[in-house]
Structure 1
Amino acid sequence: MPETDSPAPGRTPEKPKRSTARRITFLVGIGLILAGLGLLGYVAWQLWGTNWVSKRHQREITTNLQEDWAAGEGCDTYCPHGKASALIRIPKFGQKYVVPVIEGTSQDILARGYGHFEDTAAAGQVGNYALAAHRVTHGEPLRRMPELRPGDKVIVETRKFTYTYVLDTDPNKLVIPFTGTWVLDAIPRNPDGGPQPKQVKGQKLITLTTCSEIFHTDNRMIAFGHLVDTVRKTKLAPVNP
């Protein structure tokens, strides 16, 4: 009879050994799955987690700032780096929209509200009150920036005054590289001849800057406006819940 590979009676067939290549492929697959889960977790944190944390900080800073003002405390025309100096309201974004302004523009500051560029004018003063804020993640104060149009109001509340600015330019019509620091000048002059404020000395301007796209980009969307009204505060606005 011909020989066969059948095992002898009473013996269990041996399982074929898993090759080294198959083990490596299996481990690589597991690694890719874990990496994918980690990436999804990171994205979820950036899109939702940072917003939750930042909005909580914004509420705390807003409440503390209003309480300081009510007690006659807090800085006025000059505030040190890292300190909250004002509150921003943009009626087009809804009645509940209020975000603190903090002196400086570091990542830590922008995670807590608007950042006020150093060496630009203070709110309500002659020159350019230049602000930056995130469009996505970290509270996303300017997520709806593309909806703004000339004529929309930006209300800036400080310890003693409430300033009302009106936008003059459409943010969708001015997108520049992050290196375009000319927008921070006292009277910004567009080197490409595009949108810019009126080239008149003594103006009280405001500049809003944010990312030009929802996700990471090195370009910035810009809107310019000018001061139209100044009201000295006689009583404190109610603390937001």
Structure 2
Amino acid sequence: MRARVGQRIPVVVQSRGRRRSGARVLFVCAETVVTCGVLVLLLVVHQLWWTNLEARAEALDQVRALEQEWAVPLPEQTLGEPTVGAQTPGGDPADEDSVVGDRPDDGASAGASAGSAGEPASPGTSRSDAFAVLRIPRLGLTVPVAHGVSKRSVLDKGYVGHYSGTGDPGRVGNFALAGHRNTHGEPFRYINRLEEGDEISVRTRARTYVYRVDQVLRQTAPRDVGVIRPVPRSLVKPSYGYDAPGAYLTLTTCTPEFSSTYRLVVWAKLVR
């Protein structure tokens, strides 16, 4: 009897050891999965919440700074107030980072660009500094407009970017802008809600220009550069766009949300 009992005891001990070892492996695997899940969740929170918080705060500070600066009058001869019909002056060289559509997450675009910088920047400022304030009352949106469409120096700061080489606000031509649809302030998240007749204002040091929404192109290709030409017309969907020169405002962003597969375009015409 003692021999048989002695032979059974090692078998029982080995079985328990294997079960404990298997339980430890399962515990470690579960802990790893939970840790990875927490890290992914934190990344999502950072992208969808924290980047918006930071970018909106910075954009709001920039709007306040611009309006405080504009409250101080300059000598009349330095204002150079543009008028509708005046020719667009040459601008700064192209922003090296301003080509859009070459990366799936570059925020918004319908094409590439180079050239004009809109209203002149103050001495000592860089091309990425804001020079105008865009307001869309229907969306409750107030956001600064900066030169170029670089992600790092413009779009990711929560600003709207002015395509280099496109027109200036209030002038004959196409004042074309790009903005993020999601993350980093997402100023253009809801421009799909704009309808014909909605007003959009662009304030500069010189004055405030008011545009009225005229057409909305719900979806086009990222490289549809026709939508930001001086007389905008889609190369992908030629039924959208214009045939004659005018003072146009173009807003571009990615669509659908959380994707950069296509571009959404809103066109508006200057009314005053």
CA distance in 1, matches of 2:52, 2:221: 25
Q: Deviations over 1:37-60 (max 9, x none)?
A: 111111111111111101110111
Q: Deviations over 1:158-185 (max 9, x none)?
A: 0011100111113xx4311212122111
Secondary structure of the residue that 2:4 maps to in structure 1? Answer: coil
**Deviation at residue 17 of structure 1 after TM alignment:** 4.3
CA distance in 1, matches of 2:65, 2:208: 18
Residues 1:187 and 2:239 are matched in the alignment: no
CA distance in 1, matches of 2:239, 2:127: 33
Gaps of 5+ in 2: 81-118
CA distance in 1, matches of 2:221, 2:22: 49
- Assess if the C-alpha contact under 8 Å between 1:78 and 1:122 holds in 2: no
Pick closer, same or farther for the CA change 1:55–1:104 going to 2, 3 Å.
Answer: same
Secondary structure of the residue that 1:82 maps to in structure 2? Answer: coil
2:163 to 117, 131, 136: 117
CA distance in 1, matches of 2:170, 2:22: 70
Letter in structure 1 aligned against 2:36: A
Residues 1:143 and 2:185 are matched in the alignment: no
Gaps of 5+ in 1: 230-241
Letter in structure 1 aligned against 2:271: V
Match of 1:130 in 2: 176
- Assess if the C-alpha contact under 8 Å between 1:46 and 1:137 holds in 2: yes
Report the TM-score, using the length of structure 2 for normalisation: 0.73
Q: Deviations over 1:121-158 (max 9, x none)?
A: 11111111000111221111112111101111110000
The two structures, once aligned, show a CA RMSD in angstroms of 2.6
Match of 2:86 in 1: none
Secondary structure of the residue that 1:160 maps to in structure 2? Answer: coil
- Assess if the C-alpha contact under 8 Å between 1:75 and 1:85 holds in 2: no
Quote the sequence identity (%).
31
Letter in structure 2 aligned against 1:102: A
Match of 2:36 in 1: 35
Pick closer, same or farther for the CA change 1:141–1:75 going to 2, 3 Å.
Answer: farther
CA distance in 1, matches of 2:256, 2:240: 19
Secondary structure of the residue that 1:169 maps to in structure 2? Answer: strand
CA distance in 1, matches of 2:266, 2:36: 40
Where do 1:1-241 residues align within 5 Å?
1=1, 3-4=4-5, 5-7=7-9, 15-17=16-18, 25-72=26-73, 77-79=119-121, 80-94=126-140, 97-108=141-152, 109-111=154-156, 112-170=158-216, 173-191=217-235, 192-196=237-241, 198-201=242-245, 203-229=246-272
- Assess if the C-alpha contact under 8 Å between 2:192 and 2:218 holds in 1: no
Match of 1:234 in 2: none
**Deviation at residue 116 of structure 1 after TM alignment:** 0.7
